[in-house]
């Protein structure tokens, strides 16, 4: 989407029918929380993908965002966000894998402050521009390796990871606040599970949720 050509108000009013259709599909698939459905309706997903893909933005499937990465399927974004919303205080959230910035925008509507980490500089730069255009004031960005988390602002009440490591990254566990919640896909390609981790005063509670398919969490920055 070439945002030099449209105003924010115009952007937010486009694809209303498709957005409503998406909300109905998400409800059929079991997303029930009104706050989550409301935000998914409001965030202009078509603004976060290449203009040539705009008309596909409200279909419930992943789309390419360049560099062999994908914007997650809306159902997965809604599901992971709903899990965080119900299991963590709504203070500071750390997002690993900014990508196009869509999940970041959803989180920024629901949490006080979002810290978002991306390893690919050009994706991070474009996401920054989009979220600035949408006038968010509660998002901080870091071009760095998400395996390290973002220690300066820890602890986080919520952590969401949108690419899959082969095992749980210890730094992310360490930066999770007590009573906080980490939602993360873990495992090799083709064998990933979505995990929900709750930090208790003396332990981490681990819940294995659904099988999922994410791009791998990779080490180092480019
Ligand atoms: N939430 C994103 C999903 C993007 S796909 C969106 O809505 O668009 C996963 C993202 O994780 C990619 O952008 C990829 O570059 C990023 N990523 C992979 N490994 C990473 C790492 N170690 N640190 C930070 N980001 C990483």
Question: Which SS3 state, helix, strand or coil, does residue 9 take?
Answer: helix
- Predicted confidence (pLDDT) per residue in 13-36, tens digit: 999 999 999 999 999 999 999 999
Q: Considering the candidates 54, 55, 68, 72, report the single residue annotated as catalytic.
A: 72
Write the CB contacts of 155 (distance below 8 Å, at least 6 apart in sequence): 92, 175, 176, 177, 178, 180
Q: How far is CA 32 from CA 20, 53, 72, 106, 141, in A?
A: 15, 28, 19, 16, 30
Query: Is 92's C-beta closer than 6 angstroms to any atom of ligand 1?
Result: no
Average pLDDT of the chain is 96
User: pLDDT, tens digit, for every residue of 88-115?
Assistant: 999 999 999 999 999 999 999 999 999 9
- Phi, psi of 218, deg, nearest 5: -110, 150
pLDDT: which is higher, 87 or 189: 87
Instruction: Note the pLDDT of residue 3.
Output: 59
- Ligand 1 atom with the smallest distance to the CA of 97 is 11
| Residue 216: DSSP 8-state | B
State how far the Cα of 195 lies from the Cα of 182, in Å rounded to an integer. Answer: 8
pLDDT, residue 2, reads: 59
CA end-to-end span of the chain: 24
213 included as an active-site residue: no
pLDDT at 1: 54
The position carrying tokens 């080490």 is 219
Taking only the tens place, the pLDDT of each residue in 36-67 is: 999 999 999 999 999 999 999 999 999 999 99
- Examine the pLDDT at 6 and tell me if it is beyond 90: no
pLDDT in tens, 161-190: 999 999 999 999 999 999 999 999 999 999
Instruction: Give the mean pLDDT of 122-131.
Output: 97
User: Residue 5 has what pLDDT?
Assistant: 77
Paired sense of beta strands 113-118 and 63-66, if any: unpaired
pLDDT at residue 147 above 70?
A: yes
pLDDT at position 96, please? Answer: 98
For residues 40 and 98, what is the distance between their CA atoms, to the nearest angstrom? 17
pLDDT confidence tier of residue 4, bands split at 50, 70 and 90: low
Please give the Cα distance from 129 to 165 (Å, whole number).
28
Give the whole-number percent of the chain exceeding pLDDT 90: 96
Mutating to test ligand 1, I would choose from 69, 127, 165 the residue with most ligand atoms within 8 A of its C-beta, which is 69
């Amino acid at each position: 989407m070439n945002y030099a050509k449209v105003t924010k108000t115009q952007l937010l009013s486009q694809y209303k029918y498709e957005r409503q259709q998406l909300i109905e599909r998400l409800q059929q698939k079991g997303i029930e929380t009104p706050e989550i459905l409301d935000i998914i309706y409001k965030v202009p997903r078509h603004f976060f993908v290449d203009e040539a893909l705009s008309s596909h933005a409200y279909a419930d499937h992943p789309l390419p965002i360049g560099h062999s990465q994908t914007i997650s399927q809306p159902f997965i974004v809604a599901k992971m966000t709903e899990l965080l919303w119900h299991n963590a205080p709504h203070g500071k959230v750390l997002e690993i894998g900014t990508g196009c910035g869509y999940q970041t925008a959803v989180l920024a509507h629901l949490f006080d402050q979002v810290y978002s980490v991306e390893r690919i500089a050009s994706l991070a730069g474009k996401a920054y521009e989009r979220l600035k255009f949408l006038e968010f004031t509660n998002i901080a960005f870091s071009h760095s390796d998400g395996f390290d988390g973002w220690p300066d602002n820890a602890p986080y009440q919520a952590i969401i990871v949108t690419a899959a490591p082969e095992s749980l990254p210890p730094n992310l566990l360490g930066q999770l606040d007590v009573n906080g919640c980490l939602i993360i896909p873990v495992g090799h390609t083709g064998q990933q599970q979505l995990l929900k981790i709750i930090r208790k005063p003396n332990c981490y509670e681990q819940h294995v949720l659904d099988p999922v398919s994410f791009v791998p969490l990779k080490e180092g920055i480019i």
